[in-house]
Every structure is written in C-alpha cells, then in structure tokens.
A and B are shown apart, each in its own frame.
Chain A
Amino acid sequence: MMKLELRGITKRFGSVVANDGIDLLVEAGEVHCLLGENGAGKSTLMNLLYGMLSPDSGEILIDDRPVHLDSPASAMAAGIGMVHQHFTLVPPLTVAENIVLGDEHGGRLGWLDRARAKREVADLVERFGLEVPAASTIESLPVGIRQRVEILKALRRDARLLILDEPTAVLTPHEADRLFDVVRQLRADGRSIVFISHRLAEVRAISDRITVIRHGRVVGEADPVTTEVELASMMVGRTVDLAVEKPPLIEQAGTALDLEGVSLLGEGGEPRLADVNLTLRTGEILGVAGVQGNGQAELVDILLGAEHPTSGTIRLGGEEMQGCSRREMLAAEVGYVPEDRHAEGLIDGFSIAENLILDQYRAKRFSSAGRLRFDEIEGNADELMSKFDIRAPSRDTNCDTLSGGNAQKVVLARELSRELRLLVAVEPTRGLDIGSSAFVYKQIVDARSRGTAVVLVSSDLDEIFSLADRIVVLYRGRVTGTATPSTDRDQVGLMMAGAAA
C-alpha cells in the first residue's frame, strides 16, 4: 500500500514552465487519472516522479515522508514503476530476458541464469494472471503483449505504484479492455495506478479520481461520473465540438479504388493478406478497423506500392497498379499520412519548408535541371503554413522541434496540397490533442468533399465511426465483415475478435 503526494511541483525548461506548482494526491489502491492535452505537462510530471528529471521546487512524499528521487533506480527502490509510452524493451531479447533485465541473476562467469529467469517469469504470470510467451522475442510480439511485458517488469521490482503513460495509445479497443482488467486487478491487489491519458471515454471508465492538467497547472479535479463534455472543456479550456459534419456522399460517384482477390504471402509463405476485395468510390471514406497486426500494415504497403501483392489486382481509377513502385503510386496521386509521423512522415533534421516538398521535390515546380528552386519552396511553405495553421517560428524551423499537432499538420499540408485520387491515412490523430484532432478530421472530410477517396486505418473506433462512410474489419489478413457507422459497435468489436459478420 502506498500513498503518494506531490506538493507544489514546479519544473522549468528554459523559459517554458512545464509544471507550475502542481499538487496531486494519489491514495493507496486508487486508479488516478491524469487528464490533459498533449503538451499539458503530464509526461514531465511523471518523469519527475520516476526520477528522470528533478523538480526545480516542490516535494514528493510517499506515505507522508518526503523522498528524493534522483534516478529511476531510486524511484524503483521507493516502489514506483513506470510503463512508458515508448517501450523500453530490447527487441531481440526474449520476454523472460527483458523482464529480468537490469536486475538479472547471473550464474558463474556472469552467464545469465536463464532457467531462473524463466521460473521467475512463470511465477509472475501465475501471480498476476498476465499471460506472456516467456520464450518469444519481443520483436515477434504485438504491441499489446509488449506492454504487458513492461507491466510485468515493473511488478517484478515490486512496484506499489504504477505509472502508465498513455497506455492505450498503441492498443486496440480489445487490448485496451484487457489492460483495464489488469489495472482493476492490480488495484484490487492494493496497488495504486497513475493513468495518463487524453481519451475521455477510457478515463471515465477506469479511474477513481481524475486530475485535469492544462498548461502545466492543475485546473480541476473530477469524478468519473463527470460527463465527457465537461471533462473536455476543463482540459482544453473551451467547449469543444467533437462531432464531425460531413456533407452527403457524391451521387453516382465512379469507382476510385478497386482491390480484387489481393493476397500477400510473408517470407515464410504465411498469408499476411488473403483474398481481400474492396471497392471505394470517389469521395468516400472507408474505415479499416481491426486489432493491430491483422493485415492493416500490409494493406497500406500494397496501396502505397511499398509491397507488391502475391496475387490479385489493384485498380486505381480503372488502371491496374499492382506492380507499381512507391514513386509511381505517388505519381498516380496517392497520398499518405503515416502512423508514426516522426518515423515515416517527416525528416526530423529538415526544416518545415524542406519537409513540405518531400514527395514533390523533383517536380517542375520545385526544381529545374536538378537544382532546387528556393523561391518556390519558400513560397510553398509560407502558403501552406498559413493555410494549414502550422504554428512555428519560421518555415526554416526544424521539424523535430514541432509539437505533435503541428508536425501532423506539416504532413497533412504536404499530402493534401496536391491533387489526390486516394488518401491513405493511418492513425491520423494518434497522440494529438482534441483541437488538433478536430483539425485533422476537418481536413480529411474536406478532401472527401473534393472527391478524394480515403482509406482510414485506425484502432480508435470513435474515429472510425465518426469519419467513415463504410467500415471493413480486418482479421488475420482477411476482411471478416463490413459495417456502416450505424452498425452496433459491439458487433464491430466482435468482428475484430474474429467472429463472422
């Protein structure tokens, strides 16, 4: 049992006040949600608590005694465990090796005592009912399981207070439900949980207490019975409208995209996509739902020309495209908003202006005879920055310094500033705050109104249901069902778990 109290915690980075006199009380055996937009200061606060940063002022008390946490090791020793948003696992090592990592028992000559590690993990699995394949390597496992490994790792160090930083950001609804079960179980076990999130529905579902943070300050406390609208307005400081307004579909629209019997075999001959048939009209948004790792990534790769189907045909506006390269697909007016903008959407060392021409720098507009035309590149940047409301000191600002919302706006501005027949958007609002999410939704709907067909891959059913005109569910590489926004969500959830429609 552990009671945690923060008193007047302040942390500055240069002129930016990330945390401003924060008070927080987490009772023993409580699930306490920290709710706030991205950049509100939640992660900074948790890094202070986990000893990765030191506060400029204020104190941390555990069971009413002040503690000094100057490293993760001291936080762990004090009984605090943390599951980061970006996991800290070693991909080529096994689950068991990862769980004991940093606190492993060596045998003679410093060899790792594998048998003992396995035994320890088996004990943990039994004690907490968290099933993990101890002998598998981390890189072979889906995200939901990796997260479970992180939790077990913290529990092995006997964490009495567990910090979960945006734990559901990478999970499917089903995996999230499993996580909630785990959280409830840990609470029943007397452990305290600090749950960081900006998803309103789940915050209400899981928490005992909610603390709302905005601009580094605590702006309010709430109970789980508080309505989503109330929580949202506390969080952003204004009343927000989450509903998406969509004009009716274009009548008698032609076929934009047509997939017929598309299959993809993996390197070992295992089917990664099996007989996928899809038709998408111009000006239509197709939501692709499914638990992560059920063929979404492969479908996206095929649509982008990054992978070629083993069999089947892809037609874009009637033209067969299955053998086309990425560059040819770009030329065929296919746009792409990737899942991880910093890994795949942007080049971090490049300026905004440079990033805005990534897929078009060879085009006549931006270069002539192999020389970049800076007047055009700069003009393009100025135009798009104002049109897409990209907030940055200048067009020469490096993209690695942009906030999530602004970074995503750069990606959207680039992809949507040219003629598109097809837009492939994967998790377009992951990690974004409400304001930025609303902006992204509006841009996608505007593209739809202009006649662009949109494939929206998302693990957030709220997102799929509010944007999509039609929904397909992928399960183990197959389309296991189709639905519309008026379909019952539970039914879609069942399809995602593999039940036939």
Chain B
Amino acid sequence: MTALALVLAFAIGAVIIAVSNEVVLEAWGNFGNEPLRAVEASFEAVGEAYGALFEGALFDPGAASVTEFFAPISETAVAATPLIASGLAVTLAFRSGLFNIGGEGQAILGAAASAYVGFHFGLPPVIHLFAALLAATLAGAAWGFVPGYLKVRTGAHEVITTIMLNYVAGLLVVYLLTMKAFERVGRSAGISPLVAGNARLPELFGGGLRVNAGLILVLCLAWVVWWLLFRTTLGYGLRAVGQNRKAARSGGIDVGATVIGAMSISGALAGLAGACTMLGTDFALSSETAAGLGFAGISVALLGRATVKGTVAAGFLFGALQAGSIQMQAATGTSADLVTVIEALIVLTIAAPLLMARVFRLRAGDAGVSTTSGGWSA
C-alpha cells in the first residue's frame, strides 16, 4: 500500500510538472501538427525534473570532487534529522492512543530553549551541547505535559489543546525576540544572537558536508523509543493504554499518569527535533525557526505507519524530497513547492486507504485501514 501511495503521488506530481512547464504546454498547443512532440516534451520535462530531484537528494554523478558527490546525500541527512525526531514524537503518542498535533509548538519551544542556552552561556565543549539539548528536551516536555494534564484533569481533547498551544508557542517566540535577552548586537529585532560553537552539533565529516551529529542523535533516539515501547514496563503501559484504556485500567495501570507521561515524552522528542534544526543548521532563533516541522512529523509518522522503523524510513524519504527540491528548482526551474505537493499527496493517499483501494482495485481488507484507524483512535 505504501509503495502504491508513493507511485501515485509521483505520478500526479509528474502531471503537475508537465502542465506547469511552458515548453510542454507549447508542444501540446501544437498537438495537431506534432502529436509525438507533445508527449516527448512531457516526458522530457518530467524526466529532467525528477532527475534533478534525484541528483539533489542522493548522488551527483557529474560531481567534480568526492565532497560534491556526497553533498546531496549529506543534505538529505540534514533535512531528515529533525523530521525523524518530530515523526518519532507523533509515533510515540500514536502508540499511546494520543494524537499529538502539538509537535509544532513543542519543536519551536525546544529550538528557542536550545538557542538561548546556546548563545547566552559560555560552557566547555560537549557540556554546552548537552545543556542546550537538555533545555530543548525540557521545554518540549513541558509543552507536551500541559495538554496531557488538561486531558486527564478536565477531559480537554489533546488535538484541540495542542493546536491552540502551537499558536501560543509561535507567538511566544515572536515576543521573546523583542526582548533584550534575545537581541543580536548590530541587528534590528527579529533574530537572536548566534549559538556558540561549543553548543553546535559537530559536523560528522567536515569539508563542506553539513551532515552533523544530530543524525546520530536521532538514530539513537529511534532506538531508544523502540526500546522504551517494547522492552520496558513504561512502554508496556503506554501501549496498553494506547490499545485499550479500559482493559489497561482493569489491569491496574494508572491511565491518567500514563497519558501525561506519553504526552511529555512525545513533547520532549519534538523539542529535540527543534534543537536539531537550531544546533545543526540554523544557529539563530527567528520567527521562522522550526516552522512546519511538527506538522511534517505527523506526515512522517503516518507514512511510517506509527512504527519506529517506518518513521525513520519516512523521515529519510521526506528529507530526500526536501533536499532534492532545491536542486530541482535550480536546475530545471520546477518549483520546489512541487515537493510539498508530493508530500501532501503521499499523506493523503496513506490516510485515505479506501481511496487507494478503489484506485488500485484492491479488496478493502488488503488496504492499510488498520494503521490510520488504529493509530488515531486506538
């Protein structure tokens, strides 16, 4: 099903490339005289765009140096790093029966907290980085704790409260940037000082390849999330509550505490996603920091069917698309926004398995209904 969703998304993407390309449109306008030329032009345009996308995301065969050859895949990893962390946040919440739409706000605050620790303090290497990461973890966890607590105490649905808290977090950062503590010397308001070198995620290979230790961090996080869910009593409780609250309660599990815990951990992961952007590539806080990261995490978790492995794979895929889109725009003039369309199509087709079943004439039973329904409600 997932493969079919990808094929469908790229097919529709191809049509969009073709119809938005002037050469192609002209050729189709001349369809009566040269019908083959129109088809040929369409394939050319699509081939070039997707070719550039591929080159921008994986390898550049025409590279002059080793660094240039690996630069695309490095960019893919850089883009994938925060996406994976953000996706893990949503996956962990899904597994606990919660729909955390608040990754956006949690990531923004995580980024802000890590930025502040990063530029305000002067700490030794390693320690400074860990302090910044810890600050992001706590900020995200706090922003996840609130909706968890509200759900347990008042019954407020986490979808509503997390959406609201996203606005609060976004506007809070805008407010912070007007404050003295976040002012960068010599710049008008709107951007914070740069994060100190000691607090930055070190590049793994150097030499212009931006891939950094954040990648290692999120891969470790993925393993930790898996281990937590499937190897610990805490994870057993999370999954039990996620699958069947009533039975979990009968079994003596404190459902309220579990819900609050799940939202806090999920928030912490999203906070770390924000920190990966801040300490890995951005280095300064602005109102644009981590924008869209939390929502992308939902897409990543959905595509990964709320499994840890799937989330990591989906994170790399979306990272590749993002990295490739820049090259595609530069080389062929196809708008980088096309990738957003393809991502949206993938999510739409995954989240609408019945539609997929109809399009591909599968039996409804074969469609991945279980992931979406199970993931959202269970």
Contacts and interface: CB of A to CB of B under 8 A. Distances in A.
A422 to B, nearest CB: 15
Interface in B213-272: 231-234, 236-237, 239-240, 243-244, 246-252, 254
Contacts of A359: 250-252
21 contacts: A326-B249, A326-B250, A330-B251, A336-B250, A343-B246, A343-B247, A344-B246, A345-B247, A346-B244, A347-B240, A347-B243, A349-B378, A354-B236, A358-B240, A358-B248, A358-B251, A361-B236, A361-B237, A372-B231, A372-B232, A372-B236
Nearest to B95: A349
Interface string B85-99: 000000000000000
Contact of B233 (A330, A345, A370): A370
Contacts, number: 63
B51 interface: no
Interface string B65-89: 0000000000000000000000000
B247 A358 contact: yes
A350 interface: yes
Q: Interface majority SS on B: helix, strand, loop or mixed?
A: helix
Interface residues of A, number: 24
Interface of A: 304, 306, 326-327, 330, 336, 338, 343-350, 354, 358-359, 361-362, 367, 370-372
Contacts of B239: 347, 349-350
A38 to B, nearest CB: 21
Given A327-B254, A349-B378, A372 B246 contact: no
A330 B252 contact: yes
Nearest to A354: B236
B235 to A, nearest CB: 8
Given A327-B252, A350-B239, A359-B252, A343 B244 contact: yes
Contacts of B246: 343-344
A352 to B, nearest CB: 14
Contact of A306 (B233, B244, B247, B249): B249
Contact of A304 (B240, B243, B250): B250
A338 B236 contact: no
Given A326-B249, A347-B248, 12 more contacts: A304-B250, A306-B250, A327-B252, A344-B247, A345-B247, A347-B247, A349-B239, A350-B239, A350-B243, A361-B233, A361-B236, A371-B232
Contacts of B236: 354, 361, 372
Given A361-B236, A372-B236, A345 B250 contact: yes
Contacts of B202: none
Given A327-B254, A347-B248, A367 B233 contact: yes
A362 B247 contact: no
A105 to B, nearest CB: 30
Interface residues of B, number: 20
Nearest to A414: B251
Interface in B154-202: none
B240 A350 contact: yes
Contacts of B251: 330, 358-359
Given A327-B254, A345-B250, A359-B252, A371 B244 contact: no
Nearest to A377: B236
Given A327-B252, A338-B250, A347-B248, A370 B243 contact: no
A304 B374 CA distance: 29
A371 B231 contact: yes
A352 B231 CA distance: 16
The 7 A-B pairs with the shortest beta carbon distances in the complex, nearest first, are A358-B251, A327-B252, A349-B243, A330-B252, A359-B251, A347-B244, A347-B243
A14 to B, nearest CB: 11
Interface in B356-376: 374
Contacts of A338: 250
Nearest to B242: A349
A326 B252 contact: yes
A349 B374 contact: yes
A342 to B, nearest CB: 8
A348 B231 contact: no
Contacts of A327: 252, 254
A341 to B, nearest CB: 9
B3 to A, nearest CB: 24
A273 B244 CA distance: 28
A231 to B, nearest CB: 35
B243 to A, nearest CB: 4
A52 to B, nearest CB: 13
Interface string B43-80: 00000000000000000000000000000000000000
Nearest to B235: A372
Contact of A362 (B233, B250, B378): B233
A86 to B, nearest CB: 16
Nearest to B370: A349
Contacts of A345: 247, 250
A214 to B, nearest CB: 27
B233 A346 contact: no
Contacts of A371: 231-233
Contacts of A336: 250
Contacts of A347: 239-240, 243-244, 247-248
Contacts of B243: 347-350
A346 B252 contact: no
Contacts of A350: 239-240, 243
B128 to A, nearest CB: 30
Residue in B240, B244, B254 whose Cβ sees the most chain A Cβ within 10 Å: B244
Contacts of B234: 370
Contact of B247 (A304, A346, A361, A367): A346
A343 B237 CA distance: 17
Contacts of A343: 244, 246-247
A22 to B, nearest CB: 23
Contacts of B374: 349
Contacts of B231: 371-372
Nearest to B248: A347
A372 B240 CA distance: 14
A345 B236 CA distance: 16
A371 B233 CA distance: 6
B262 to A, nearest CB: 16
A346 B247 CA distance: 6
A417 to B, nearest CB: 14
Nearest to A349: B243
Contacts of B240: 347, 350, 358
B134 to A, nearest CB: 21
A330 B254 CA distance: 13
Contacts of A358: 240, 247-248, 251
Nearest to A306: B249
Nearest to A330: B252
A44 to B, nearest CB: 15
Nearest to B250: A344
A348 B250 contact: no
Contacts of B237: 361
A362 to B, nearest CB: 5
